[in-house]
Amino acid sequence: PPRVFSGVQPTGNLHLGNYLGAIRKFVGLQHEMESLFCIVDLHAVTVWQDPKALKAQTREIAAAYLAAGIDPDVATVFHQSAVPEHAELAWLFQCVARMGWLNRMTQFKDKAGKDKERASVGLFTYPTLMAADILAYKATHVPVGEDQKQHLELARDVAGKFNLDFGAEGFFPLPEPLIRGAGARVMSLRDGTKKMSKSDPSDLSRITLTDDADAIAKKIKKAKSDPDPLPSAEDGLEGRAEARNLVGIYAALSGMSEAEVLTRFGGQGFAALKPALADLAVEKLAPISSEMRRLMDDPGHIDAVLKAGAEKASSIAGPILRETKEIVGFLT
Ligand code: ATP
Ligand code: MG
């Protein structure tokens, strides 16, 4: 049966890209397929996290999920470290995946930077844990932003190799990425060639879900642009990374196509698009941020939701892990 799994890291600075590329899609999917939405704290600690902040950040993602419209009575909402099967299966997958596969992962290269010797081992093996997150539930569909496409392909390779190595054809499904649609790749407001990220050192590079109206307006006003007027729908946005990003965000937030946005703003400068975009972003994000603030005032409620979610998640992953161990040849 189809099953959805996805996750967001509790690394702070939850932003518009996370919302448009991931969380907003979760909301619709929960009614189409059985869904698990995880706060992937084991992934977060591949880069050092302040322990106190990590707890707050974990609750913040939970609050964002609920505020955006994920219903914990419909979807399973939980944090990864509460379900030990993730880490257990990740170990087995580290023994299935090949060094060569992981060596090709661009996220590791980006995040490790120049000095790879000083990156954590966990940052390198991150994609095997992500494969385990998905396959511990035999999830078939994974809604993610465009940046996670390569990791999803690795998860498919891991599933296929496991099935082959152990003569267990069809045991793990090959999970399908759900990346389509507006907002799958929101770029930095400071550099239209880099994705918007929680870990970008510049606060001006992203709109966060906790920014107030003034902060949103300021960041969009300061967003990098170019001196030319916006093109017509026919001319298109080729070669204009920053214009494409702002038009893309407008389209994703409004539900219009890029062509429709260009029909409205083509021929005008960024001075016309930016204030309209700021108003639109505030209109769409303000209800979510105020609901997030309300939820975060009651950490006890959030913790209870996560605990119930973890129990539900364990009840699915437990039997799958037991069967996996049997297949591998462990005494069970
Ligand atoms: P970090 O910099 O810590 O990796 P992040 O911004 O990449 O943070 P993640 O928690 O790694 O956020 O990703 C959560 C989800 O958000 C994933 O599905 C990812 O593909 C999606 N996502 C992240 N950044 C963007 C973006 N700029 N545009 C669209 N989707 C994004
Ligand atoms: Mg990321």
**184-218 per-position pLDDT tens digit:** 999 999 999 999 999 999 999 999 999 999 999 99
pLDDT digits (tens, 9 = 90+) for 150-179: 999 999 999 999 999 999 999 999 999 999
**pLDDT, position 302:** 98
pLDDT digits (tens, 9 = 90+) for 55-72: 999 999 999 999 999 999
**Does 235 count as an annotated binding residue?**
no
* 26 has pLDDT over 90: yes
Ligand 1 centroid from CA 145, angstroms: 6
Dihedral of CA atoms 10, 292, 181, 152 in degrees, nearest 10, equals: 20
DSSP, res 232: P
Sign of the dihedral defined by the CA atoms of residues 312, 48, 59, 68, in that order: negative
184 CB within 6 A, ligand 1: yes
The radius of gyration of the chain's CA atoms, rounded to the nearest angstrom, is 21
Residue identifier of the C-alpha nearest atom 20 of ligand 1: 145
Query: Residue 270: is it exposed, middle or buried by C-beta count within 10 angstroms (0-12/13-18/19+)?
Result: buried
Task: Determine the straight-line distance between the first and last CA of the chain, rounded to whole angstroms.
Answer: 26
- What's the one-letter identity of residue 184? A
Do β-strands 3-8 and 176-178 pair in parallel, antiparallel, or remain unpaired?
unpaired
Same fold, 3-178+298-328 and 203-293: no
Decide: pTM greater than 0.90: yes
195 CB within 6 A, ligand 1: yes
**Does 248 count as an annotated binding residue?**
no
Q: Give the residue from 41, 40, 28 showing the smallest Cα distance to 74.
A: 28
Please tell me the number of Cα atoms within 13 Å of 276 on its side-chain side.
16
17 CB within 6 A, ligand 1: yes
Say what percent of the chain tops pLDDT 70: 100
- The mean predicted confidence, pLDDT, of the chain is 97
DSSP, res 15: B
Q: Where are the domains of the chain?
A: 3-178+298-328, 203-293
In the structure encoding, which two tokens stand for residue 114, read together?
């120049």
Ligand 2 centroid from CA 33, angstroms: 24
Query: Residue 139: is it exposed, middle or buried by C-beta count within 10 angstroms (0-12/13-18/19+)?
Result: buried
**Does 9 count as an annotated binding residue?**
yes
Say what percent of the chain tops pLDDT 90: 98
List alpha helices for 266-298, DSSP H.
270-296
Do β-strands 34-39 and 76-79 pair in parallel, antiparallel, or remain unpaired?
parallel
**pLDDT, position 180:** 86
CB-based contacts of 39, cutoff 8 Å, min separation 6: 7, 8, 9, 10, 58, 61, 62, 65, 77, 78, 79, 80, 306
pLDDT digits (tens, 9 = 90+) for 69-122: 999 999 999 999 999 999 999 999 999 999 999 999 999 999 999 999 999 999
| CA 266 – CA 251 distance, rounded (Å) | 14
Mean pLDDT within 311-324: 98
The domain at 3-178+298-328 falls in which architecture?
A: 3-Layer(aba) Sandwich (3.40)
Q: What is the CATH number of domain 203-293?
A: 1.10.240.10
Mean pLDDT within 130-153: 98
List alpha helices for 136-237, DSSP H.
149-165, 213-222
Estimate the crossing angle of helix 149-165 against helix 121-135, to 10 degrees: 70
